[in-house]
Amino acid sequence: MDLKNVGIKDIRFPVKIREKGGTRQDTVALITLQVNTPKQFCEDCVSTLLGLLGKYGDDISPPAFPALLKELKTELMADSAKLTMTFPYFIEKKAPVTKTAGLMEYTCSFTGTSENDDDLIMSMWVPTTTLCPCSKEISKYGAHNQRAEIRLDVKFSDFIWLEDLISMVESGASCEVFSLLKRPDEKYVTEKAYENPMFVEDAVRKVAGLASAHPSITWFSVGVESFESIHKHSAYAIVTSDTMGC
């Protein structure tokens, strides 16, 4: 029997991620590596991974990730390798009315599964607001709303910045979420969500529509989990480009 996928799980390492603005952002990645290698696991995987993180870790980006993965495969004489880096990523965002700036945090990840550049999957978990259309329709005033997390995974033909994908996802919910809001901003987001009611399936459809229309996205998956304010459980919807009847 030929064993696939030996590896290491949950090792943390400080990395720098290339930002759209041209600078690099310091963050901390949680890393998992799986390889199909004839080398002895006992020390080689960790040693090679840490060595290459030292070499590549201060300039991680979608173009650089496949190069790191390729060198990892070569050094480990592996038939295949899968590397995932998950990290908090910060984007300065301006409040919608007062334009007060604040850092928003998003969880993002890169997953590479071969040496083909287009196998790279970029993933992001984006907090948003959903407001229930049913609750709005039947109530004299108000409508229940809640934080909802949208997860997007994409493969792509041409490079796309995390900043642009996150912005696309944020436009798909009842309203986007901010770290810092002054009173005029809070009025704005409250009213915008009320004017824009969405079930989880509506948010999934909207983000999936945007992803389908994006010229560089070749595959995607969109999931929305809404932490219902009137229940203890979550509402959930998911779609992938494979199963869409487009």
Please choose, out of 59-67, 98-106, 109-117, 152-160, the segment that lies near a copy of itself by the rule CB under 8 A.
98-106
- DSSP track, 148-175: EEEEEEEEESS---HHHHHHHHHTTSSE
CB-facing half-sphere around the CA of 205: CA atoms within 13 A: 8
**Alpha carbon distance 91, 178 (integer Å):** 11
Residues 147-166 that bind a copy of itself (CB under 8 A): 147
| Cβ-based nearer residue to a copy of itself, 21 or 159 | 21
Q: Does 61 bind a copy of itself (CB under 8 A)?
A: no
Strand partners, 106: 89
Residues 173-192 that bind a copy of itself (CB under 8 A): 175, 177-183, 186-187, 189-191
Q: Does 208 bind a copy of itself (CB under 8 A)?
A: yes
Residues 69-88 that bind a copy of itself (CB under 8 A): 88
Structure tokens at 207: 């983000």
- DSSP track, 61-108: -TTHHHHHHHHHHHHTT-SEEEEEEEEEEEEEEE-TTT--EEEEEEEE
Please choose, out of 62-70, 111-119, 156-164, 170-178, the segment that lies near a copy of itself by the rule CB under 8 A.
170-178
Q: What is the DSSP letter of 60?
A: B
**Alpha carbon distance 166, 91 (integer Å):** 10
List the one residue out of 27, 43, 177, 10 whose CA is nearest residue 104: 177
Residue choice 59, 119, 163, 201 for contact with a copy of itself (CB under 8 A)? 201
Q: Taking CB under 8 A as the rule, which mask of x and - marks residues 225-244 in contact with a copy of itself? A: x-xxxxxxxxxxxxx---xx
At closest approach, how far in Å is the CB of 18 from a copy of itself?
15
At closest approach, how far in Å is the CB of 185 from a copy of itself?
9
Residue with tokens 């005029």: 184
Please choose, out of 68-76, 99-107, 151-159, 160-168, the segment that lies near a copy of itself by the rule CB under 8 A.
99-107
CA angle at 18 for the pair 164 and 167, rounded to the nearest 5°: 15
Residues 14-53 that bind a copy of itself (CB under 8 A): 14, 25-28, 32, 34, 40-43, 46-47, 50
At closest approach, how far in Å is the CB of 6 from a copy of itself?
5
Structure tokens at 90: 């910060």
Q: Does 204 bind a copy of itself (CB under 8 A)?
A: yes
Residue choice 55, 74, 94, 103 for contact with a copy of itself (CB under 8 A)? 103
